[in-house]
Structure 1
Amino acid sequence: MDPQTQQNAAENSRDPIPTSVVVDIHSLTSEDTDLKLLRETAGSESCCIVRIPHSLARINPIAYEPKIVSIGPYHHGKEHLKMAQQHKRRFLKFLVAKMQEKGTNPQELINAVSTLEGDIRGSYSEDLGLESEELVEMMVLDGCFILTLFLVVSGKVVYTNLDDPIFRMPWILPSIRADLLLLENQVPYVLLQALFETSNLVTSSCLNELAFEFFDSSSWTTHYKNQKPKKLHFRGIKFKPRMNTDSILDIRFRNGVLHIPPVVMDDFTATVFLNCVVFEQLYADSSNHITSYVAFMACLINEESDAAFLSERRILENYFGTEEEVSRFYKSIGKDVALDLERSYLAKVFEGVNEYSSKGFHVHCAEFVHTHFDSPWTFASSFAALLLLMFAALQVFFAAYSYFKPPKDK
């Protein structure tokens, strides 16, 4: 094939160039009615409830996910949060009854929210895709749920259902508090203010005061500090297995010695611990002994080296797996446990260990010993330095002595 023929064949094989392109410019500028995500007002000052950017959410997704209750539209309808919807309706029923006792028409709650529909929609960065009735129903349920929590926890309103799990089970209320602080799990403050004023149940306090009281950290479950056993050991606390006891719960602290009964850590023990902790968390009238014990051990066993330290002292007998698996078990269970430290049978032990390891001459002595005499090499170097210091001191002494009291000539 000659060059001219090849060139003609190549040109014929190319895609034909369209003679005209028909695109309506107005169709590009019109909104897509089937898909509305980011609102035009998402950057305005009134928009205060936004989605977490995916680039941040993927770092730790569970940090932004509610565990008990969904508030607002972003997490509404998720399977693990549906049970809380029953509690919302029960709280609304209670609030309506209280309003009727005061002669207030509860229908005013609906009216108050309806007038705020535009402000509510403008508070969210995304288009909600909800009809007016759906939005008003959601806001009334969620807003009245929060308002009832504020009123009951502050003591402004007496809640008559003494068996309500939200107030009976020790782990639920702290979890709800945490859920209400999540950025995506919110309703506009203007909604809460409108519901508070419409309910007319409290006139002696403002909504801000009730909110601050509800979220006051001093009223939350007491937190316990993680104390590594090696760190405690370096601060003068000794660890000894407590042999003469019938229960692994019988932990004692006396005169700087922590007596812990030996525990066999295996699959059976782990299963018993997990089920007992759940039982104590769910039943308000039960003791919290197992929860206290597990929380105490979780404070001690936070790393692989912690499990090894307790194993060396015959406190932990490990058939569960590697020492890393033991530490991971206690770390995971201790993280999700709600413990009222004041009700714990180990409260005095927690207090004694923290106080003993934080101050006192024994702390400085123990730190000095472990810093300079913890291993044969540090002991040898410290001992050599001490000998050199002694020889230098003796040399200075004899030099000064010979100067002030020179030998007498015979």
Structure 2
Amino acid sequence: MDISKWKNIEQLASADVARMFSGELDDNKVERILKDRSRSVEYEALFLEILYADDAIDELADDPFLLSLVEKDNKKSELSVGAGSGQPGSAHWGAWPWLLAAACLVIVVSFVLYPLGTSIDDGSISRYVTRTGEQKVVTLPDGSVVTMNTGTQLLVDMEEGNERLVILGRGEAYFDVAADPDRPFSVKLDGRVVTVLGTEFNLSKQADGFTLAVVEGVVTVHRENEPASASALDAIAEIGQEVLVKESAQRRFKAGMAARFSVEHQSLTAFRPVDMARLIDWKSGVLRFENVPFNEVIMELNRYSAKKILIQDSSLMDLNVFASINIDDISGGLSALEQALPIKVVHQFDRIHIVSPKNSK
């Protein structure tokens, strides 16, 4: 299968999952999406994988009422639609408990058949996923090593012509690319392509674009519809300086350089980080914050936390934070911040609230 066709199927599956949880569909339409998931092997695998990785499923999986429905549904051979409204006082309505219970059940069963990171299409295309708080190291067929951060999705094709191709669907990954001058290694995201022959770099995809950090070697950033040029100019910036790259231009980024791409403005900005290590600290399991606004710290911690962390008092947003937090101990990190800052951390069943001490009573 052509990787562009696979990407189209992925987009359709993502849209169906988003529609299913949007609240805009009636029960019959949600049921239809679940029943139609078997339209093709590729669609079903991607649909289930996206559903499995979705934060909504993480929350639903801890719901005692939903778990009881999953246990009941275990004995059913096909999807049943309940007419009740759930437990008194619960947040469930209509057929949703049965539909989502069935979805969760399907996920458990189907991932025995389609485990994460396996190839479905004759060995040519592989998909790799990490869930919230999970990190994974993957060795690709060409010998390249990819370290995946929390909440990351990769689509990999090592057999499309002479190009080694990766699509970063979401999240963050560190690429240690095996040198092969005859086969460029390209990562596609947001309409741009990062192309290398052999180097080390970090890519982080955000909602509004992506950030690139080059640790070793050289990479070229170019548009998706044009090949990388050997004559592309080097991106140059001094420490503390940001340089806007001409929209249509290709640029080469050498070790020590970084770039930010904005989807909204379709702009690429080159810069030289004061401390490159901070951009890849996550690989060692530690997040370092030096004079970072508190709201930005919480945004970063939310990438790793199983429970959503919410700042309830806007006056706390701009507190300056100096801290190092272990990725596998977010709760301990919040406790340390509670000792260092004028905040109160309130743990609840499904989320964590941060309030001002004066408002905690």
Q: What is the TM-score of this pair, normalised by structure 2?
A: 0.23
Q: What is the TM-score of this pair, normalised by structure 1?
A: 0.21
Greater relative contact order (Cα < 8 A, sep 6+): 1
Give the structure with higher Rg (CA).
Answer: 1
Higher helix share: 1
Higher strand share: 2
